[in-house]
Amino acid sequence: MTLRVALVELPLYDNTLPLTSGYLQAYVRQDPTIAGAIEWSIHARAAHHPRESLLAELLEADADVYAISCYLWNMRRIRWLLDHLRARRPDAHLILGGPQVMEHLADYVQPGTANVAICNGEGERTFAAYLGQLHTGQPDLSQVPGLSYQSGDTLVTTEKPARIKDLDEVPSPFAAGIFDGGEYTFAVVETNRGCPFRCSYCYWGAATNDKVYSWNVARVEQDLTWISEHGVESIFIADANWGALPRDVELTRHIVRCKERNGYPLMVSMQAAKNRPDRVTQITEILVDGGLLASQPVSLQTLSPLALKAVDRTNIRETTYVQLQSTLREKRISSYTELIWPLPGETLASFQSGIGRLCRSGADAIVTYPQLLLRNTPMEQHREALGIRTERVADDIAEADVVVQTSSVSRPDFDAGIWFYYATVVLYNARCAFYLARYAEREGKRSYEHFLGAAARYFQRRQDVDLCRFFADSVAQLASYDINNVGKVLHQLLRSHRAEVDRLLADFLRDEGLYGDHRLRGLFELDLIARPYVYREPVVRPAVELTEVRIVGQDRYHYLVDVPADLAETLAGLDRLGLPAPTAGALRVRVDHLGRRKMPYPRHRSLDHNASYCQAMMNRLRDILPTWTALSPAPAPAR
């Protein structure tokens, strides 16, 4: 009996290498009893691919078995496909796998539904046994480990198989030639499976019983070499903690050697190990020197001890974090610190305090993700005890449930936290009031928490301003879930609404009673001049009058600025700009906005495309920050 098997993946990005499909096919092909009886086809299309076109492609495959990988980012699209495939091909067998559907058959399959099953763990062994039963012509699915299915009106779930400890039991799909002939831009790579941590919001540790199993180093190197030789532009290393193992350093060097030899990949991203900042910094430096990485993520998630306890997580020590930031600055390596809002145990006050502490510690950029309630996590299992309430994002592709309330965060608190984060993006990440805020904090005039909170409330009142209306709409629509949402904010701050933002911030400082202070106003004017340009484009003069500093010259990418002596001395004490304190009078400085690795503004690209670029550039902030050069003491103004 010949089986036609269609493997279906709907990743986030076009031209993504279908790694899961490769694993399944390579594993099943080892079994001589069924290997020759299966005709394979792989259907990998981005989740946003037109659904009618995808359905037509799957129907044309005329498969006996459709095996579909399911994640929260594609599950609504898959629900639609599932309904239409069952209606058009009632004789076909469908098997779903992935964290979104595991242990949740009843959410997707009605009682009495035949020919639909769900895999409840690692897919390779379960899928091979499933196809083996179908191949007999009289399948007994109760003999398939790790499976859920409907038998009449009864939901049947079989015992899960043990995890695969020797991962080399799963042959390399690269070496097997499964991906030969494909054109791929993006590849997900695993070198191990498992996570030693038990963070309750994350599926990784909850699913793997703390054990980490690895593939043979030589096999991983061969797979990475294939990716390089076949011109794949970007790699995401999907290990839960890249840098946790000593061998990760040498594997990183191997990727760089491949790039030097073949020209690819062009970029590498990773989930960095949180308990080995020294090794992760070494890996980051290797990738930065190799032109493959421009920033190091630091995943703290929260600074609240109560929240850390509630989610069963430990962080690196704060002193270690501060030292890590200092080391990265010295090496001119960008970093971004990741938080999640709102974790159980976190309060609005502790979230704001955590951001304030990160600002004081010198974080390059602070990235806050919404808390998604993921399937099959301890948090989902204890949602009632934790007081968790969710709202589903209005999306016809994804099935994302955003946590909007916990026992310690009310629904209004949740909104206030999002507004506070938007204020952080404006004033801190985008550097719109960076020096002013740092000085106000140092001198005890305004703490970061006070300053950012006041800005958030002011932005809420200013619905006459495009940027503030964008914030309000985003909060109301849970748009912070959108991976490009903050990128759209940055596009407005650093390009399309630059003048509007200048005026908005000046109005805010007046409202706060800060505009009359000579030094604070002077630092704000320097913030206006130093606010980065995310694209490589000509600088423009600020849209508000400068009274404390003078722009005395300007060309395409540079300003010449005369800074009063007291202001220059203050500025030099706030940041490592290399500016000398003036011995007398004002200091003339050159502010250079040329930057590193910026691209010109792509006028014909969509806002989503440009927002993705802007988000990436915030995470590699040191590529777009201006440089300062002292030229000479400024000549005295003519009388």
Beta-strand pair 389-392/401-405: antiparallel
* Contacting residues for 423 by C-beta, under 8 A, at least 6 apart: 452, 453, 455, 456, 459
Return the pLDDT at 582.
61
Positions of the chain with pLDDT lower than 70, given as ranges: 205-210, 581-584, 634-639
Q: Could you tell me the two tokens for 217? A: 């180093």
pLDDT digits (tens, 9 = 90+) for 154-188: 999 999 999 999 999 999 999 999 999 999 999 99
Report pLDDT digits (tens) over 323-338.
888 888 888 888 899 9
pLDDT value of position 637: 55
Q: Say if pTM beats, i.e. exceeds, 0.85.
A: yes
Model pLDDT, residue 219: 97
**Residue 238 and residue 15: Cα distance in Å, rounded?**
17
- Of the candidates 628, 543, 630, the one whose C-alpha atom is nearest the C-alpha of residue 594 is 628
For the chain, which domains are there?
3-157 (3.40.50.280), 436-639 (no CATH)
Q: What is the pLDDT of residue 298?
A: 87
For residue 246, say if its preceding peptide bond is cis, omega within 30 degrees of 0.
no
Query: What is the structure's pLDDT at 321?
Result: 82
d(CA 110, CA 637): 82
| pLDDT for residue 260 | 97
Residue with tokens 């301003």: 465
DSSP string, 479-544: GGGSTTHHHHHHHIIIIITHHHHHHHHHHHHHHTT-TT-HHHHHHHHHHHHH---SSS------SS
Neighbours of 300 (CB within 10 A): 20
Residues 6+ apart with CB under 8 A from 382: 200
